[in-house]
């Protein structure tokens, strides 16, 4: 048993009787394992420096002899070079726990404004549990806020949610370095089985430094009688996790699609019913309106009361796409005083309106419903405010009023409009 004042034999893991060949072989293996090129941990670089110093001394017969003759540490000026600190296992950047199979991942969430879509990355070294949470969170944000931008909102939302649900954007080169750091960290902690098992997964690394270091490490541990086992794969693709993210992001568009489907199913019912009524045309379902004919421009659809001597007039210019149905309602009782039809790009009037206060509503669309009192694809609006119509008299004349409204384009319309529910029309 000789002296080892600076721990040279210990740090190379060789005996005092080791041959030059043995020292060279061990050094080559350790130099690969701790090489700074494949170890980002500064403690690995420190270890690399120490084994290099030990090697330089023990490989030279004269220096080795001198070192062997040194009796105690006190005869050496410098402190022992053996670093106290060990290479740390990689920690999850989210839960801060050491994780044997870390991954560097990027998850992206999509947030849209009307004409702008923004993609926000969340990146870090994650354990598999935290990665699942991060992926779900990013996809939930996208599901809520990603859809609404034109045109990139839906495109990016779908793209990023699928990527998140498949595990996020990976960087295999970084992951292999992280695993290698773990192989070394568990080696230093005496967990040879885990170290060897991790090394087994890195033998086919595309990084030549890592793959050769991994096989050196395996050789060293096998020589100690350690047989690696396959480690539990905790990054396996999880279908429930994938499905939950897809389901979450499909929910909103699903509701929209369902309402479109129900709407078209309703149309089909009408057309089927109509084809049954019209004899001789069994093959071709045709939408037949119960109101017999398409209304013409200016046609009065409903009217309350008899012809008045002094009455007011409401004129509507329809500059919108599609036809319009105009309803004049008593502002207190909400009874319809009159309804009339204004064809696309046309102008029409109704002139039998008594004194009173009114609201004017209109429905706009291209597909008239079966009762001709609305549109299947209608939008419903109301001109702002109450329209007061009153007859003025003087000694010679009676003065009545005419109100003129313009429908769309909204920017050029003469009066502000409010959107209303179809049921309120
Ligand atoms: Zn974690």
CA–CA separation, 415 and 142 (whole Å) = 38
Mean pLDDT of the residues in the chain: 81
Contact call for residues 424 and 381 (beta carbons, < 8 A): no
Largest CA distance in the chain: 137
C-alpha 207 – ligand 1 centre gap (Å): 26
- pLDDT above 60 for 288: no
C-alpha 179 – ligand 1 centre gap (Å): 15
* Interacting residues of 95 by C-beta distance below 8 A, sequence separation 6+: 127, 129, 130
Q: Can you count the helices (H) and strands (E) in the chain? A: 10, 15
DSSP H/E element including 109: strand 103-112
Which of 273-277, 357-361, 395-399: highest mean pLDDT?
A: 357-361
* Confidence label for 272 from pLDDT (cuts 50, 70 and 90): very low
C-alpha 203 – ligand 1 centre gap (Å): 26
> Residue 385: left (phi > 0), alpha (psi -120 to 50), or beta?
left
Percent of the chain residues topping a pLDDT of 70: 82
* Confidence label for 316 from pLDDT (cuts 50, 70 and 90): confident
Q: Give, to the nearest 10 degrees, the angle between helix 208-223 and helix 172-188.
A: 30
* Interacting residues of 306 by C-beta distance below 8 A, sequence separation 6+: none
Which of 296, 420, 299, 403 minimizes the C-alpha distance to 363?
Answer: 420
pLDDT of residue 86: 81
C-alpha 230 – ligand 1 centre gap (Å): 22
**Arithmetic mean of pLDDT, 11-31:** 91
C-alpha 201 – ligand 1 centre gap (Å): 21
Assess whether the previous peptide bond of 404 is cis (omega < 30° from 0): no
Residue 423 phi/psi, 5° resolution? -65, -25
Query: Which DSSP letter does residue 307 get?
Result: P
pLDDT of residue 275: 37
C-alpha 360 – ligand 1 centre gap (Å): 62
- pLDDT above 60 for 315: yes
C-alpha 193 – ligand 1 centre gap (Å): 23
Instruction: Retrieve residue 152's tokens.
Output: 């990139």
pLDDT of residue 1: 54
- CATH architecture type of domain 300-424: Sandwich (2.60)
Task: Please indicate whether residue 95 or residue 258 has the higher confidence score (pLDDT).
Answer: 95
pLDDT of residue 270: 42
Which of 375, 380, 335 minimizes the C-alpha distance to 353?
Answer: 335
CA–CA separation, 110 and 303 (whole Å) = 53
pLDDT of residue 249: 75
CA–CA separation, 5 and 149 (whole Å) = 70
C-alpha 103 – ligand 1 centre gap (Å): 10
C-alpha 102 – ligand 1 centre gap (Å): 9
Which of 171, 158, 182 minimizes the C-alpha distance to 44?
Answer: 182
C-alpha 126 – ligand 1 centre gap (Å): 5
CA–CA separation, 384 and 16 (whole Å) = 99
* Radius of gyration (C-alpha) of the chain in whole angstroms: 41
C-alpha 259 – ligand 1 centre gap (Å): 41
Neighbours of 127 (CB within 10 A): 24
Instruction: Retrieve residue 19's tokens.
Output: 């041959």
3-state SS assignment for residue 405: strand
C-alpha 94 – ligand 1 centre gap (Å): 5
Contacts of residues 247-253 at CB distance under 8 Å and 24 or more positions apart, as own/partner, are 248/139, 248/140, 248/143, 249/139, 249/142, 249/143, 249/146, 249/157, 249/158, 249/161, 251/143, 252/143, 252/147, 253/147, 253/154
CA–CA separation, 405 and 380 (whole Å) = 15
Percent of the chain residues topping a pLDDT of 90: 30
C-alpha 215 – ligand 1 centre gap (Å): 29
Exposure pattern of 189-202 as b/e (b: 16+ CB <10 Å)? eebbebbbbbbbbb
- CATH hierarchy code of domain 8-75: 1.10.287.110
pLDDT of residue 110: 87
Place of tokens 């993210």: 245
pLDDT of residue 209: 94
**Arithmetic mean of pLDDT, 36-60:** 90
CA–CA separation, 96 and 45 (whole Å) = 23
C-alpha 160 – ligand 1 centre gap (Å): 22
C-alpha 4 – ligand 1 centre gap (Å): 42
pLDDT of residue 170: 92
Domain boundaries, the chain: 8-75, 172-223, 300-424
**Arithmetic mean of pLDDT, 44-54:** 91
Structure confidence by residue, pLDDT tens digits, 202-256: 999 999 999 999 999 999 899 889 998 888 777 888 888 888 888 877 776 677 6
Which of 327, 331, 332, 350 minimizes the C-alpha distance to 401?
Answer: 350
C-alpha 403 – ligand 1 centre gap (Å): 69
Pairing of strands 336-342, 300-303: antiparallel
Which of 166-170, 373-377, 414-418: highest mean pLDDT?
A: 166-170
C-alpha 124 – ligand 1 centre gap (Å): 10
* Confidence label for 169 from pLDDT (cuts 50, 70 and 90): very high
C-alpha 378 – ligand 1 centre gap (Å): 52
Compute the half-sphere exposure of residue 331: CA atoms within 13 Å on the CB side of its CA: 15
Structure confidence by residue, pLDDT tens digits, 412-423: 445 566 788 888
C-alpha 132 – ligand 1 centre gap (Å): 9
6 exposure class (CB count in 10 Å sphere: 0-12, 13-18, 19+): buried
CA–CA separation, 377 and 373 (whole Å) = 12
Pairing of strands 346-353, 336-342: unpaired
């Amino acid at each position: 048993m000789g002296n080892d004042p600076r721990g040279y034999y210990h740090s190379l893991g060789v005996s005092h009787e080791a041959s030059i060949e043995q020292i060279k072989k061990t050094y080559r293996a350790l130099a690969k394992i701790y090489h700074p090129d494949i170890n980002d941990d500064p403690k690995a670089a420190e270890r690399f420096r120490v084994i290099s110093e030990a090697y330089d001394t023990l490989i030279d017969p004269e220096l080795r002899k001198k070192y062997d003759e040194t009796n105690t540490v006190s005869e050496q000026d410098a402190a022992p070079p053996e670093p106290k600190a060990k290479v740390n296992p990689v920690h999850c950047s989210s839960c801060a726990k050491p994780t044997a199979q870390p991954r560097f991942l990027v998850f992206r969430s999509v947030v849209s404004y009307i004409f702008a879509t923004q993609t926000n990355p969340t990146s870090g070294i994650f354990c598999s549990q935290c990665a699942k949470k991060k992926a779900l969170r990013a996809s939930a944000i996208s599901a809520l806020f990603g859809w609404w931008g034109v045109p990139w909102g839906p495109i990016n939302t779908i793209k990023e949610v699928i990527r998140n649900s498949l595990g996020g954007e990976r960087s295999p080169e970084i992951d292999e370095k992280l695993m290698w750091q773990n192989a070394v960290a568990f080696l230093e902690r005496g967990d040879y089985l885990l170290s060897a098992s991790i090394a087994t997964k890195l033998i086919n690394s595309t990084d030549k430094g890592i793959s050769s270091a991994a096989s050196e490490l395996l050789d060293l541990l096998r020589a100690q009688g350690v047989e690696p086992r396959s480690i539990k794969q905790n990054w396996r693709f999880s279908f429930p996790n994938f499905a939950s993210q897809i389901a979450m992001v499909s929910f909103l568009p699903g509701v929209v699609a369902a309402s479109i489907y129900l709407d078209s199913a309703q149309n089909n019912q009408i057309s089927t019913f109509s084809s049954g009524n019209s004899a001789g045309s069994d093959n071709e379902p045709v939408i037949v309106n119960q109101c017999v004919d398409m209304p013409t421009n200016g046609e009065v659809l409903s009217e309350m009361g008899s012809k008045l001597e002094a009455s007011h007039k409401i004129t509507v210019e329809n500059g919108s796409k599609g036809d319009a149905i105009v309803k004049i309602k008593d502002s207190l009782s909400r009874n319809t005083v009159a309804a009339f039809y204004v064809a696309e790009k046309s102008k029409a009037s109704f002139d039998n309106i008594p004194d009173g206060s009114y609201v004017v509503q209109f429905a706009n669309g291209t597909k008239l419903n079966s009762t001709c009192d609305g549109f299947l694809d209608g939008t419903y609006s109301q001109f702002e405010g109450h329209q007061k119509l009153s007859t003025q008299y003087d000694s010679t004349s009676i003065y009545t009023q005419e109100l003129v409204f313009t429908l769309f384009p909204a920017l050029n319309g003469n009066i502000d409009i409010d959107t209303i529910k179809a049921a309120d029309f």
